[in-house]
Structure 1
Amino acid sequence: MELRSRKFTAAIDQGTTSTRVFIFDERGEPVAKHQEEFRQIYPHSGWVEHDPFLLVKSVENCIEAATNQFTAAGYSTRDICALGITNQRETSLVWDIRNGEVLHNAIVWADSRTAHIVRQLKLEDTANAVLPKTGLPLSTYPSAVKVKWILEHSKVARDVYEAGYLAFGTVDTWLLYNLAEGHSGEKLHVTDVTNASRTMFLNINTLEYDPLLVKFFGLEKLLLPKVASSSNSTAYGVLAKGPLKGLRITGCLGDQSAALVGQKAFEQGMAKNTYGTGCFMLYNTGSQPVLSKNGLLTTVAYQFENKPPVYALEGSIAVAGSAVKFLRDNLGIIQEANEIGELAMSVQDSGGVVFVTAFAGLFAPYWVDDAQGTIFGITNYTKKEHICRATIEATCFQTKAIMDAMEKDSGITIKNLAVDGGMSNSDECMQLQADIIGIDVDRPAMRETTALGAAIAAGFGANIWRSFSELDRVNSRNHRKFSARTTPTTRTKRFRHWERAVAMSKGWLTSEDIDKEYDD
């Protein structure tokens, strides 16, 4: 078969429930891809862990399978110019820097075991200084509290920490440590600004680790990774092994920032919503961080090499696609995830059922640690179709709550919402979203925008692109818009019903429940 010489970019998309590798052409179309799910570990209620080496192995497997698919289609690996990495954020790992020995399973971003630590930290005299420096409220979400928990519960990790050899990293750092090497063959301990801004160690105003923050969490001896720009020609080295050995890694972004880049939301005021395991809306606020007064996060959206950072307001929903998985795997209401949309739209409404999917408390804009998943309104009339619809509506209502908060913080009305991620594949889900928020929902034909964003960052790091205008042809075809079919009065009434259910779900966990600790 004749080989065709073109320029391609590759992307590793390491997510919460699966790992994927894509190889994109010049128009942002995937010409090869492979996905592998991996095991979730649930030691206790509200706890979520990953096997660190399983994460690495899943990436290796996906690289090999995607590369085989790529070459079988007649392409040459010599034409892959750069690789980008995007990853689940906040998920925390620690290891011995001397030998790479893992000292605890990765604690996943959605894990809520640190609720008692958060409550204690909020009582500290300097607690009020954390949010202005980090853009993040004290919660179970960021990485710092997860590392603190590990040191409180693992003697082995604590001993390595006291000796000064405990390395910390989010998933991007761990993958680079295991799969890449520097241009002189050295081991890498590095992260990008978007992932670092989710740890609570980084001052988002200076883009440097803040000694006062590190001291606040009592982690002064922790070895933190070097912070680099999201698009970078040298910081991330090259792949050290596998079929793409030697390929330059020139992009690295947390998954939600990558989706913003993949949606090409480069202008201030643009917003995107990604429906994955959780659901995450980012709103580009430009070159200055905007601190929220309405329960949102302030985060680094991206920083390209030798350019100033771009910031975003973010609304994070802990449970979105994982609620669909819950209906499938835990309750057996559906057999396949894609059934939920058709079942939900087979009834006119949810029949009065409201499902507050607070499996690990509620994230933005509520930030309630003492809520748990609650279904209201069940009667003899309730059918599985009503529960399916209420499950989708839970994500849609939380999205509206976040949009309202963004508009209050920014003073600007969002007129169009770009969407991507698993749930966005469902026409029914996106129509429900438009009906609840009352604005157009814009869905691209190629919805792997998280991976595409990592590839775009890598492309800029490798000088494949030099300006945003060169991306005009990237993922530009066959967008579909979903417009609201509801009246403002109906939308207001339904949202008030949701807000009442949220209020009633609070306080389910007592202080005794939150403070409860388990043996190692």
Structure 2
Amino acid sequence: MTKKYIIGVDGGSQSSKVVIFDLDGNVISEGKVNLRPMHTPEPGIVEHPDDDLWDSISQASQQAMEAFAGNKEDIIGIGLCTIRFCRCLLKSDGTLAAPALSWMDARVSKPYEHRNDEVSYVTTTSGYITHRLTGEFKDTAANYQGMWPIDTDTWEWSESQKVFDYYNIPRSMLFDLQYPGTILGNVTMEAAKATGFPAGIPVVATANDKAVEALGSGTLSSSKTLISLGTYIAPMVHGQDNPSHTEHFWTNFSAIPNEYLYEGNGIRRGMWTVSWFKNLFGEEFVQHAKNYGMTAEELLNQEAELVPAGSDGLMTVLDWLAPSEEPYKKGMMIGFDGRHSRAHMYRSILEAIALTMKTNVDRMKEELGITIENLVLTGGGSNGNLMMQIFADVFGLQTSRNVVNGSASLGSAISVAVALGVYNSYEAAILAMVQVEETFHPDEEKHAFYHRMNEEVYQHITAYTDGILKKSYALFHES
């Protein structure tokens, strides 16, 4: 029997990744191209330079196709996943009328302002890339969270003129919506030349990047929580309903039609803080690690494994990027004494990530009225065994890491497998394509300690430090 393959596209915030999978979810080849630095000419303006989103995807596609040793004729489809909360302004022919607006751009959190007469369409990153691949003016409904005139109950454009008036985008400027797991169109000859993809194969709708990551991680149960360890660290739980006016989570579209993903409060600059700390030691430390046959992070993990739970009283507060409504917030380490080393500091950052997520997940599950039985960690932060074990110990739960750790690309491939009838359900596709690499079990003694540390001390630090930070903010930010 001829072996078949699926392409999963993951257009992320930092890079574009294209992975070719077989039907069992094994990685056959892949390509990755980093995005260029954002264009930030003034406060509130954050744009992707030139045509960087498409260029990076087409280059990553070429890499993946060049490394693919199979027959191109056996590739059956493409799943497309891109960054959420962005805005693309297109001319009538579907080309960019202006640089794509990042999710960090202040304009995407406000109603659209029509200031450029060249703009004929207002869409998402997935809508724009869909058009580049297929020539169609279609998009997945599941990437329209934020400032869009969409009815999140029906997954259709709103029927209210008041809603359209508020968002200031006429229906004629919006793409046609489709459910995840449906065919948006087929790869054009022009797109095939730019990417190396086979012309004519179907492009399948997925969802926003977090929802596709959740699908690719296999977390479709309300009892299983996904924690995505990236630049922004977020906890997610799958659900069936669309609740509103929630306090400790918000409701996002799922990658499965008419289902939802509940996303708890996260950590801004989460794994970025780990990288920041590692980079403080410079090239000398990198070389020192190489002398032992390790990366700098591997050496830090090895050293931190020898530090007891709780880092001998050293605790980190992860406010390296303050929220806009609380600009006085700052990151801090508190509790130093003569015992503390770089290993203590490093471990305290990892513990802070796990403890903060424990609090956020607890608040979310209590509001939802659910019980969490398992954790799945994805993203670069889950590659370290120490991080995995700390999460297991802090939560007191079985904690798993999958073989395909950047799971958005696999979620894209799963969407294709279901859309094309390779598997008759998402559950069947996950069973066949998502493979667990390793599972970590909690140390009950450490779990009891972390529970007490979090309840009695860690959660309360900012109640005591916010006052002095507000005073210091006023001092250091005087005009």
Letter in 2 for 1:291: S
TM-score, normalising length: structure 2: 0.83
* C-alpha distance in structure 1 between counterparts of 2:72 and 2:315, whole Å: 51
| Aligned with 1:193 (options 125, 132, 141) | 141
Structure 2 counterpart of 1:66: 64
* C-alpha distance in structure 1 between counterparts of 2:465 and 2:17, whole Å: 36
Q: Is residue 274 of structure 2 the alignment partner of residue 320 of structure 1?
A: no
Structure 1 counterpart of 2:376: 418
CA offset digits 1:326-374 (Å, max 9, x no partner):
3345774974555553344342244544333334435xxxx95435442
| Aligned with 1:276 (options 230, 241, 261) | 230
Letter in 2 for 1:303: I
Whether the aligned pair in 2 keeps the contact of 1:196 and 1:227 (CA below 8 Å) is no
Structure 1 counterpart of 2:457: 497
CA offset digits 1:170-211 (Å, max 9, x no partner):
322222233x12xxxxx3333322211344532211212334
Q: C-alpha displacement at 1:59, in angstroms?
A: 0.9
Q: C-alpha displacement at 1:76, in angstroms?
A: 0.3
- Structure 2: stretches of 5+ with no match in the other structure: 287-295
Structure 2 counterpart of 1:154: none
Give secondary structure in 1 for the equivalent of 2:457: helix
Structure number having the greater helix percentage: 2
* C-alpha distance in structure 2 between counterparts of 1:102 and 1:478, whole Å: 44
Give secondary structure in 2 for the equivalent of 1:299: strand
* C-alpha distance in structure 1 between counterparts of 2:94 and 2:460, whole Å: 53
Letter in 2 for 1:171: T
Q: Is residue 386 of structure 2 the alignment partner of residue 432 of structure 1?
A: no
Letter in 2 for 1:230: P
CA gap 1:312/1:448 in 2 versus in 1, 3 angstroms: same
Q: C-alpha displacement at 1:21, in angstroms?
A: 0.9
Q: C-alpha displacement at 1:77, in angstroms?
A: 0.9
| Aligned with 1:354 (options 306, 315, 326) | 315
| Aligned with 2:51 (options 50, 53, 56) | 53
Give secondary structure in 1 for the equivalent of 2:23: coil
Q: C-alpha displacement at 1:47, in angstroms?
A: 7.1
CA offset digits 1:87-129 (Å, max 9, x no partner):
222133334345623424532x3x3x64xx9xxxxxxxxxxxx
Structure 2 counterpart of 1:342: 302
Whether the aligned pair in 2 keeps the contact of 1:290 and 1:313 (CA below 8 Å) is no
Give secondary structure in 2 for the equivalent of 1:494: helix
Structure 1 counterpart of 2:84: 89
CA gap 1:199/1:395 in 2 versus in 1, 3 angstroms: farther
Q: C-alpha displacement at 1:442, in angstroms?
A: 1.8
* C-alpha distance in structure 2 between counterparts of 1:170 and 1:23, whole Å: 24
Within 5 A, what are the aligned runs for 1:118-129? Answer: none
Q: Is residue 440 of structure 2 the alignment partner of residue 481 of structure 1?
A: yes
Give secondary structure in 1 for the equivalent of 2:272: helix
Q: C-alpha displacement at 1:222, in angstroms?
A: 8.7
Structure 2 counterpart of 1:299: 252
* C-alpha distance in structure 2 between counterparts of 1:506 and 1:83, whole Å: 49
Q: C-alpha displacement at 1:260, in angstroms?
A: 1.9
Q: C-alpha displacement at 1:478, in angstroms?
A: 4.2
Letter in 2 for 1:159: R
Whether the aligned pair in 2 keeps the contact of 1:361 and 1:372 (CA below 8 Å) is yes
* C-alpha distance in structure 2 between counterparts of 1:253 and 1:51, whole Å: 24
* C-alpha distance in structure 1 between counterparts of 2:465 and 2:130, whole Å: 41
Within 5 A, what are the aligned runs for 1:38-437? Answer: 38-41=35-38, 43=40, 49-51=47-49, 53-71=51-69, 75-98=70-93, 100-107=95-102, 109=103, 111=104, 114=106, 143-145=108-110, 148=112, 151=113, 158-160=114-116, 163=117, 165-178=119-132, 180-181=133-134, 187-210=135-158, 211=160, 212-219=162-169, 223-233=173-183, 235-239=184-188, 240-241=191-192, 242-244=195-197, 245-286=199-240, 288-291=241-244, 293-304=246-257, 309-317=258-266, 318-329=268-279, 332=282, 335=286, 336-348=296-308, 349-362=310-323, 368-377=325-334, 379=336, 381=338, 382-437=340-395
Letter in 1 for 2:439: R
CA gap 1:378/1:493 in 2 versus in 1, 3 angstroms: closer
Whether the aligned pair in 2 keeps the contact of 1:52 and 1:106 (CA below 8 Å) is no
* C-alpha distance in structure 2 between counterparts of 1:190 and 1:294, whole Å: 33
Letter in 2 for 1:395: I
Give secondary structure in 1 for the equivalent of 2:432: coil
- Structure 1: stretches of 5+ with no match in the other structure: 118-142, 152-157, 182-186
Whether the aligned pair in 2 keeps the contact of 1:164 and 1:222 (CA below 8 Å) is no
Within 5 A, what are the aligned runs for 1:438-517? Answer: 438-468=396-426, 470-471=428-429, 472-476=431-435, 478-485=437-444, 486-503=446-463
CA gap 1:40/1:500 in 2 versus in 1, 3 angstroms: farther
State the superposition RMSD in angstroms.
3.2
CA offset digits 1:287-322 (Å, max 9, x no partner):
x21336332111111234xxxx11121125233222
Instruction: Give the share of equivalent positions with the same residue, in percent.
Output: 17
CA offset digits 1:358-409 (Å, max 9, x no partner):
34435xxxx9543544213164645332332232233212321221122212
CA gap 1:172/1:339 in 2 versus in 1, 3 angstroms: farther
TM-score, normalising length: structure 1: 0.77
CA offset digits 1:221-261 (Å, max 9, x no partner):
8933322111102x243252232133211132222111221
Letter in 2 for 1:177: H
CA gap 1:198/1:383 in 2 versus in 1, 3 angstroms: farther
Q: C-alpha displacement at 1:22, in angstroms?
A: 0.7
Whether the aligned pair in 1 keeps the contact of 2:223 and 2:373 (CA below 8 Å) is no
Structure 2 counterpart of 1:134: none
CA gap 1:213/1:320 in 2 versus in 1, 3 angstroms: farther
